[in-house]
């Protein structure tokens, strides 16, 4: 999987970011740092190839202090992402 240009923009998002792309393909990536939070979901936004990963896992099961951030970033880099967007929100 390494060095393939599947997407150039990566997004680490939360539970509200699942439906912002078209033509979605799920890609599982292994890293030297262990498994990332979840698969990468690769799709299109307009003419851009974008990869999305739910930072807390698909069902929001990973607590913030247990997220394998190095694996997540390595996974994005390994598929060709040159830019990463990581919006966040905190609430009660």
With a CB cutoff of 8 Å and minimum separation 6, the contacts of 3 are 78, 80
Q: Is residue 48 part of a domain?
A: yes
CA distance 21 to 53: 12
Whole-prediction pTM:
0.86
pLDDT 10s digits, 39-82: 999 999 999 999 999 999 988 899 999 999 999 999 999 999 99
Number of H helices, E strands in the chain: 1, 5
Domain count of the chain? 1
Q: Would you say residue 46 lies in a domain?
A: yes
Contact 10, 75 (CB under 8 A): no
What share of the chain in percent tops pLDDT 90?
Answer: 71
C-alpha angle 34-84-88 in degrees, rounded to nearest 5: 90
Domain range for 81 is 9-85
């Amino acid at each position: 999987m390494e060095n393939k240009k599947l997407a150039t923009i990566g997004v680490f998002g939360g539970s509200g970011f699942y439906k912002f792309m078209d033509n979605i393909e799920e890609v599982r990536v292994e890293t030297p740092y262990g498994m990332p939070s979840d698969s990468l979901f690769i799709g299109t936004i307009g003419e851009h190839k974008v990869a999305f990963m739910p930072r807390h896992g698909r069902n929001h099961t990973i607590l913030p202090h247990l997220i394998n951030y190095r694996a997540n970033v390595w996974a994005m880099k390994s598929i060709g992402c040159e830019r990463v967007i990581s919006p966040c929100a905190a609430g009660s």
